Structure 1
Amino acid sequence: MSNEKLTITRATTHKPKPDSEHLEFGKVFTDHMFVMDYTTVRGWHDAQIIPYQPLSIDPSAMIFHYGQTVFEGLKAYYTEEGKILLFRPDKNMQRLNQSNDRLCIPEIDEALALDALKELIKIDYEWVPKAEGTSLYIRPFIIATQPSLGVHPSESYKFIIIMSPVGSYYKEGIKPIKIAVESKYVRAVAGGTGQAKTAGNYASSLKAQEVADAEGYSQVLWLDGVERKYIEEVGSMNIFFKINGEVITPALNGSILPGITRDSILHVLKHWNVPVVERKISMEEVFQAYEDGLLEEVFGTGTAAVISPVGELYWDDKHLNINNGEIGDLSLKLYHTLTSIQLGKEEDPFGWTVEVEQEVTKNK
């Protein structure tokens, strides 16, 4: 696959681009997409950029029946200097292969995938929105395509990348969210697929999220699936607690998704010499810290929001009001620092940003 030639077929017509001030997440997609096929005979082959279009796929394709699929999520940002930047895209491709391994999907060539992504953005660069807080969301994914109703790994796959301009996560300013701690349903257990970014993990979380929504909570905080005691992650984010000056996040244990924003926050905190530790932490410990007046901040981390401060936790019929429902100083500082690096506004001491070439030089 490393020597695979990328062929490009350009769209002859172009879709109207949405207003940057009124973007919705994942509703409109760019003019082109990347597609690559796999068979056991040929391996990964036919790397193409083609006009965005529906897929033609057999009703018996294994993705529909056994859920063999993985995906990623990352963003491209338009800077004040007119550059387009990606944030740690190599980590997304590495994690995609980690998910591939767990789901018995053949490994992709990470370098080729990243080159293809850059070429796709280069072609559709005009779709990267310029309004403050906006970005181009990128969704690489792989699906099993073999037409078969046998329970075994597929013998054929499609690797696809699609892109969608998205609006600011915090249109009215960054505000803390309310989270319900889940006690009935289980997201994942060690040995399962919790550490893989696969569709089934999200499907199994929908019921708990539906219940939380009905009760006025925007997210669910999952506990471990065995003891129902130790904190794992939020539905779409990893979670951090600042207790008596120390930042604590659950250690990766085989059932927690290794978030790239999570890893970035750990690097930044250590760079600032802020005490930070990855370890088991129970809701009982968090509640006791709250009772003792030591629970200073709680925040989630993820691609969509970067930092999502938590203003309330609901657990065991108890309402934990955190920092008077306001964003904490550390959460705010982390948010501004990471977004400034992503947007090229602040020095990147970690070498995380990757510039994407554009097809023409735009007037500034």
Structure 2
Amino acid sequence: MKIGVPKEIKNNENRVGMTPAGVYELIKRKHKVYVQANAGFGSGFFDEDYEEVGATILNSIQEVYTSSDMIVKVKEPIEMEYELIQHGQVIFTYFHFASSETLTNAMIKSGSICIAYETVEDADGTLPLLVPMSEVAGRMSIQQGAKYLEKPIKGRGVLLGGVPGVPPGKVLVLGAGVVGIQAAKMAAGLGAHVTIMDINMKQLRYVNDVMPNHVVTEFSSEYNIRNRIKESDLIVGGVLIKGAKAPKLITKDMRPGTVIVDVAVDQGGCFETTRATTHEDPTYIIDDVVHYCVANMPGAVPYTSTVALTNVTLPYVLKLANEGWEVACKNSAPLSKGLNIVKGEVVYKEIAETFDL
């Protein structure tokens, strides 16, 4: 098969769809890999690294799309890429269709096979291709939140860990999944007082068992959330509904200088006031509350993110390349759940319901 790795063109997206190590595994199996010039530069991988393992470097994104049976990338195609996608071409990437009707309609029109990283699902319900980026984003949410709590950036002027004689900051984490647990772990490591909320009591019991004593769990209800947000310094939104829009879990009843970090922004966000931002312009302020809603948070640490992503996507890329998408999805239940749009037809229930298709 001919596999293309284009350069990401979303604002400040420095990740790349595959490392040279991943490309090597495809070349070793007699596949052809086309990599756009400088595609890996932002992640610390250079054209010569790809050429050394047998990849062909192409100068333009148009050449990569035209030459390839399957495109492996990181973020959803943006408008200038829509016309490059060919009928019957496999696009393997993060799509997050539920947050964009425009993207959904464009991919329907393209006639391509859209396999979304975020809906590939194991038998136990875990999302193996979403986990590493959720781990990165969860940890980054505290790193970024702590920075934006500083007064020069319009935060409350709170040091999350406090100092002797001064109480630590209060962190509220909504969702006890991968993002929430990683956020709580980082916040606890800084010495903050952490409350993590979820509706899954089994998950809350797990968090209670593995986290230190200054991380407390609480059942997530509107009443409890309303009470907690009034006293929190940093609020992290990490709620995920597979393939669908995130629920709006929070109101505007926060005190001035509070920072909210919405990790669910790719799925529409879980705060009422969420709108997607970029690394170039990451925050905005509403009612004196600092909002950090960058839609590609892991793109800020591209080396870590690219290696972590290739670690988990490579087995699926190899399966698709070796068997073709139809046989691969037929033989692999997890991969079949990654199918979102096939030659103009939406085949993922939650996306169809979101847009009444």
Q: Calculate the TM-score normalised by the size of structure 2.
A: 0.27
Say which structure is richer in strand: 1
